[in-house]
Structure 1
Amino acid sequence: MVTSETVVTEVLGHRVTLPCLYSSWSHNSNSMCWGKDQCPYSGCKEALIRTDGMRVTSRKSAKYRLQGTIPRGDVSLTILNPSESDSGVYCCRIEVPGWFNDVKINVRLNLQRA
């Protein structure tokens, strides 16, 4: 169980991408979700977007996109037209089979006025 935190600073209203890459991705065994707030013990709190390992299976809003190549492990979250309420911590959880193997990446988004 690995948890790290990255900070992304961007200007309000400009598309922002929160990085999440996993080099050992396998579409047979990895799925993932992005949630708002720190990564919880399991799953994603307030899941914004989920995949089944190959494609997006659910999203909370059209403003959330995965524009990377999911089967290659690029599950970076793009937020279109972010507002001040989008500031804060996000959790990228890559589900890896086995006990406590999930990769958890916390990304703190700081949005500033232009």
Structure 2
Amino acid sequence: MSFQNSQSFPSPSAPLQVAFNRSELSLILALYGRMVAAGEWRDYGISCQRELAVFSVFKRTAETPLYRIEKRPKLRQRQGMYSVVSMDQQILKRGHELKAVLRVLERKLIRAVK
């Protein structure tokens, strides 16, 4: 009696998906909390795929995301694996350290005081 396996198992070297780790999420969620308190953001979504992880930020739930914070480990040795992408697909900041990349969004909190 022979069995034919119809399922193919992923190789151990291939990652199943890319995800944010706990320290990365704490940095992102701290910024998200400050922006929610300022009334700028209202919702978020997290997507984990084979080649990238995305934290999307929304002003309203039914809209397209205002910003996407992306993690692409394949770009680690090049431009850096973290990037912030705007609604019109423009890369606002890319780098090797998440904290430095998120500064581009923290500037939105700074407002002129009258």
TM-score in terms of structure 2 length: 0.27
Q: Which has the higher strand share?
A: 1
Higher RCO (CA 8 Å, separation ≥ 6 residues): 1
Q: Which has the larger radius of gyration?
A: 2
